[in-house]
A and B are shown apart, each in its own frame.
Chain A
């Protein structure tokens, strides 16, 4: 990143953190002056734009991102029960997510998190209960979903075609979405030669590319390094602010302060807890 690019990214991050435009202008101008005086790589002098913006926001005492007023209900799952043979995987689980909200589905392994999400996606049917989705649906599976013998660009074109995008448009949109995850999608590497984590970035990029109203993500960050994981949650924040309804399955609880609702599917005393009891408010 050259200094101008870094400063632009930094300004965008300050804006994203709701630092007042006046304050942001001063801080960016001061950083620009410092770089002019001292030279050096801004990524070394100040660090990554996102992290420096966070430090600045904290030092200024900027108000934390105000939760945007949630919009209309986009996803409503009610009384979801699913049995496999004699085993009841889900009992009367429910979740409501509005536009501009992130909901997390948490719980121990095997408690039905992925099953619940697949039911929401319409990939499998519940034994009881119903799911209502308003708008376009996007689903990112835990793994798979990419084609080994296609280039990343060809994936973007494939998804773009479904929305009537021309090849060039789709490619540009895909690469831009990939960069949000800190990934410069290469033009000439077959997907089977990408690392597992990078393939997940491709997977995630595709699911956001169609600009769904409801985005269902099944632990999409497996194989991500720490930096990418941070980028991933920042990206979710941006999508939320843009009015998407997001459901993310996770077993990592340290990000729960960033979500608006939590559905805990951990069985209590051998049975799945009532869906309504699993709700948690925003911190």
Chain B
């Protein structure tokens, strides 16, 4: 896949993907990066991920606390807020409204 284009798409939705991952459980940066990779979004470097987390925190969509995990060192755990859940729902609707017509156009063209 065209890496540059993929990067552009990702910039538009990475915050929503992170909110999606935090919907059901709290998590920390490295774990989120792995989960994004597992979900098929691809490897996301720390240099891309943490600025997104900071922006989510600044805008009140997530909160964060430093805590000792069950194993290993203290980590900064992120939790989604009610505001974050609302943003995720709205973002999900907006994404569907955007991607459905795009998919329609692309697949029609391909079949012709």
Contact = CB atoms under 8 A, between A and B. Distances in A.
Interface of A: 26-27, 29-31, 33-38, 44-47, 51-52, 55-56, 58-61
Contacts of B74: 29, 33
B47 A52 contact: yes
A122 to B, nearest CB: 47
A56 B50 contact: yes
A31 B76 contact: no
Given A33-B30, A36-B73, A45 B51 contact: no
Contacts of A52: 47
Contact of A56 (B29, B45, B54): B54
Residue from the set A33, A52, A56, A58 with the largest chain B CB neighbour count within 10 Å: A33
Contacts of A35: 46
A27 B53 CA distance: 11
Contact of B54 (A34, A37, A59): A59
Nearest to A61: B58
Chain A interface, >50% SS class: helix
B15 to A, nearest CB: 11
B33 interface: yes
A55 B76 contact: no
Contact of A33 (B51, B55, B75): B75
Nearest to A51: B47
A37 B30 contact: yes
A52 B51 CA distance: 9
Given A36-B73, A44-B45, A31 B54 contact: no
Nearest to A54: B51
9 contacts: A26-B76, A27-B54, A36-B73, A45-B45, A45-B47, A46-B45, A46-B47, A55-B51, A60-B58
Interface in B42-75: 45-47, 50-52, 54-55, 58, 66, 72-75
B68 to A, nearest CB: 12
Given A30-B29, A30-B76, A59 B45 contact: no
